[in-house]
Structure 1
Amino acid sequence: MSEKVDHILAQADWLRTDGIQAVFSAIEQDGDEARVVGGAVRNTLLGHPVPDVDIATTALPETVMQRARAAGLKPVGTGLDHGTVTVISGGFPYEVTTLREDVETFGRQARVVFGRNWVRDAERRDFTLNALYTDRHGRLRDPLGGLEDCLARRIRFIGDPDKRIQEDYLRILRFFRIYAAYGAGEMDAAGLGACLRQRDGLRHLSAERIGHEMRRLLRAPLAGPALSMMNDCGLWEIATGGLARIDDFLALRTLSHIAAEVTDPELGLVVLAGFVREDLERICDRFRLSNAERGRMRSAWAAMKRFRQRKDLPEAEALIYEFGRQGALDGLLAHWAGQKARGQAADAAYEDLLSRLRQSPLPVFPLKGADLIATGHAPGPALGDQLKRLEASWRDSGFSLSKDDLMRLAGACS
């Protein structure tokens, strides 16, 4: 097994680049070592993409800075107090962190000393599958026996789960997020029990940290089962301040084969928490969402409401014109999920509308105020009212009235 694992790591594209090998060469001097740790190793062994690469080293931060600069690389002291230097090599940023040992822990305010002991460094990490290291040649280093858990997709805390969580209560959400992204089978009972016992610690976390972790969880493949368990344990309500429509969310994820949007956090939050508009605004504020995220959620919720108000399905063009293409698509998927959860969805009709929403052109009102002014209409509020009436007539016609038709109608109305 070890030879096979080493071969997989040695053949990883990210480890074979000149950029990362230059970082190793710069750091590994005078007896210092460097190893890739965590996500890059885990993802490679599980066949997942590797978006970033973290490196652990025995070299002190100031030494990393000096050696990287001397090698012609660009070091940036992104977290020197915590031992972290970002080294840019080959146009790619590598986060290089000196081995650490927690001496005392006060929530996230751990007093940390730098060290040279790889086991102690591993022991301060969160989950066993994240405490895997590899050297520059692809040789695995597994100080805590996390390889078996990784390959079995078991998410287990390192050491005492309660203590790991007390060091940083965000690890409660990370337990569910990592499971949703990489897990298989039942959740680890010891870890789940610790999350339940320590759940009040979530109340001490900042909104930004909770929101960031929840959005990552919502994108993950097993978000449905993870959120179901969170809800059963009372964690969803603590994290979000509200209730969850878990059945609707589970139904939404069954549409992933025809709609990639179902993994977007904005749509997931609308389905989970959008009972009424106030719920939506609360979760936007609680998670400190961006204006773009808020705007998408509001459009989705308004379109979903429109579907609920009608017994038949609206025309695609009308939906796109009122809510925009994205809002119309999100609204349809949110409503469809709710109907599926209640066994009331006419899937063929919804799928047909979904296709038309993707393909139909955006209707553009063909008339402008200048067109009416050119024919003698006076500028002013009355002109604006006239345009609104003409636009309503154009919409009622199914967007079929031409510019000439509207000009004739304007003459008849003047």
Structure 2
Amino acid sequence: MKEKAHQILAAADWLLSKDIQAVFSAIDRDGDSARVVGGAIRNTLLGYSVPDIDIATTATPQDVMRRASNAGLKAIGTGIDHGTITVISNGFPYEVTTLREDVETYGRQARVVFGRDWTKDALRRDFTMNALYVDRHGYLHDPLDGLEDCFARRVRFIGDPDMRIREDYLRILRFFRIYAAYGEGDMDADGLGACLRERDGLRHLSAERIGHEMRRLMAAPKAAIALRMMNDCGLWEIATGGLARIDDYDALRALDGIAAETRDPELGLIVLAGFVREDVDRVADRLRLSNSERRRMMTGWTVYKQFRQADTWPDLKWLLYVHGRQGAIDGLLAYWAAFEGQYRTGSKPDFSKSLQTLRTADIPIFPLKGADVIALGHPPGPGVGQLLKSLEQIWRESGFTLDKKDLMSRVVINV
């Protein structure tokens, strides 16, 4: 198994690049060593892309800064008090962290000392599959036997799961998020039990940290499985302050193959938590969503309600015109997830056809402006807006086919 890992890692493009080798050359010297650690190795072994690369080293932060600068690399003390330096090589940032040992732990606060023991550094990490190291030549170092767990896609805490969680309660959400991204089979029973026992610790975390982790979780392939288990354990309610429509979310994620939007947290939260309009604001506040995320949720929820309340199938072009392409698609997907069974009876228009229409149809643009009708002699004032509104209705009823000339002729008639 180690030989297989070595072959995979030694051939990895990111390890063969001149950029990372320049970082190694700068740091891996004068009695110190440096190794890539964690996610880059896990992702490479499991066939996923590698968005960022972390490096662990026995060199002190001050030595990392000095050696990187001497080698012509940019070094930024982004977390120097905690041993982390960002080294930039050819525009790509590498987080380089000195080996650490936890001496005392108080919840999230631990007294950390820098060290040179790779096993002790591994013992302070979260999951066995993340405690893997590789040197500049592609040789794997596996101090805690995490390689087998990695290839088996088994997410296990290092050591005592309860202790790992008490060091940082965010690891509860990370347990579910890593499983949703990489896991196979049943969740680790020991880890799941610890998350259940320590769940009240989530109440002590900031909304920003919970929101960040929940976004990443909901984008993962197996988010529906992980969120169902979270809900069963009472974790969803603690994290979001409300109930969850898990079956609806299962139906939404069944569309992963035809709609990339199903992995977007904004749409997922509409389906999971958007019982009423106030839920949108509550969840957005609870998870500290951005204004753009909140707006997308509110627009999608509004369209969803229009689908739900309409006696007949809504005019898709009108939805595009009023709510935009993203809002219209989100609303359709949310409605399908909540009322999926209706489409099997043939009582509603074909879902796939409607989705395709929303993706490809041109968004209508109302061809008239206030200045156009004023130029025809209509007096300025509130009457202009009223006239435009009535003409817009006529334009809509025509199937958006009337052009500017047609509408202008009606202005003359109505003046």
Category of TM-score, reference length = shorter chain = over 0.9
Which segment drifts farther, 275-284 or 341-350?
341-350
Q: Does 1:124 align with 2:124?
A: yes
Deviation of 1:408 after TM superposition, in Å, equals: 2.5
1:188-203 superposed matches below 5 A: 188-203=188-203
**Paired position in structure 1 for 2:278:** 278
Measured at CA, do residues 192 and 343 of structure 1 come closer, stay the same or move farther in structure 2, by a change above 3 Å? farther
Which segment drifts farther, 20-29 or 209-218?
20-29
Matched residue of 1:201: which SS? helix
Measured in 2, the distance between the counterparts of 1:313 and 1:349 equals: 11
Measured in 1, the distance between the counterparts of 2:158 and 2:342 equals: 41
Measured in 2, the distance between the counterparts of 1:80 and 1:362 equals: 51
**Paired position in structure 1 for 2:391:** 390
Measured in 2, the distance between the counterparts of 1:342 and 1:106 equals: 53
**Paired position in structure 1 for 2:248:** 248
Deviation of 1:341 after TM superposition, in Å, equals: 6.2
**Paired position in structure 1 for 2:374:** 373
1:297-316 superposed matches below 5 A: 297-316=297-316
Measured in 1, the distance between the counterparts of 2:345 and 2:245 equals: 17
Measured in 2, the distance between the counterparts of 1:388 and 1:70 equals: 68
State the one-letter code of the partner of 2:259.
A
**Paired position in structure 1 for 2:410:** 409
Which segment drifts farther, 204-213 or 365-374?
365-374
Measured in 2, the distance between the counterparts of 1:403 and 1:89 equals: 56
Which segment drifts farther, 45-54 or 346-355?
346-355
**Paired position in structure 2 for 1:84:** 84
Measured in 1, the distance between the counterparts of 2:244 and 2:342 equals: 15
Deviation of 1:312 after TM superposition, in Å, equals: 2.8
State the one-letter code of the partner of 2:397.
D
State the one-letter code of the partner of 1:244.
A
Cα displacement string for residues 107-136 of structure 1 (whole angstroms, at most 9, x for unaligned residues): 221110000000000000000000000000
Measured in 2, the distance between the counterparts of 1:8 and 1:129 equals: 16
State the one-letter code of the partner of 2:273.
A
Cα displacement string for residues 358-398 of structure 1 (whole angstroms, at most 9, x for unaligned residues): 11101011111111111111111111221112112212222
**Paired position in structure 1 for 2:223:** 223
Which segment drifts farther, 217-226 or 381-390?
381-390
Matched residue of 1:144: which SS? coil
1:232-247 superposed matches below 5 A: 232-247=232-247
Cα displacement string for residues 47-93 of structure 1 (whole angstroms, at most 9, x for unaligned residues): 01000000000000000000000011110000001000000012210
Which segment drifts farther, 44-53 or 391-400?
391-400
**Across the two proteins, how many residue pairs are aligned to each other?**
414
Alpha carbons 1:18, 1:90 under 8 Å: kept: no
What's the Cα RMSD here? 1.3
1:176-195 superposed matches below 5 A: 176-195=176-195
Matched residue of 1:239: which SS? helix
Matched residue of 1:110: which SS? strand
Matched residue of 1:76: which SS? strand
**Paired position in structure 2 for 1:164:** 164
Measured in 1, the distance between the counterparts of 2:349 and 2:126 equals: 45
Q: Which runs of 5+ in 2 are unaligned?
A: none
**Paired position in structure 2 for 1:291:** 291
Deviation of 1:28 after TM superposition, in Å, equals: 1.4
Q: Percent identity between the aligned chains?
A: 69
State the one-letter code of the partner of 2:170.
L
Measured in 2, the distance between the counterparts of 1:5 and 1:406 equals: 69
Measured at CA, do residues 58 and 342 of structure 1 come closer, stay the same or move farther in structure 2, by a change above 3 Å? farther
**Paired position in structure 1 for 2:321:** 321
Which segment drifts farther, 254-263 or 169-178?
254-263
**Paired position in structure 1 for 2:263:** 263
**Paired position in structure 1 for 2:57:** 57
Deviation of 1:3 after TM superposition, in Å, equals: 1.5
Measured in 2, the distance between the counterparts of 1:318 and 1:300 equals: 15
Measured in 1, the distance between the counterparts of 2:343 and 2:382 equals: 49
**Paired position in structure 1 for 2:148:** 148
State the one-letter code of the partner of 2:308.
R
Alpha carbons 1:10, 1:137 under 8 Å: kept: yes
Q: Which runs of 5+ in 1 are unaligned?
A: none
Deviation of 1:344 after TM superposition, in Å, equals: 5.8
State the one-letter code of the partner of 1:400.
T
Measured in 1, the distance between the counterparts of 2:244 and 2:354 equals: 27
1:65-80 superposed matches below 5 A: 65-80=65-80
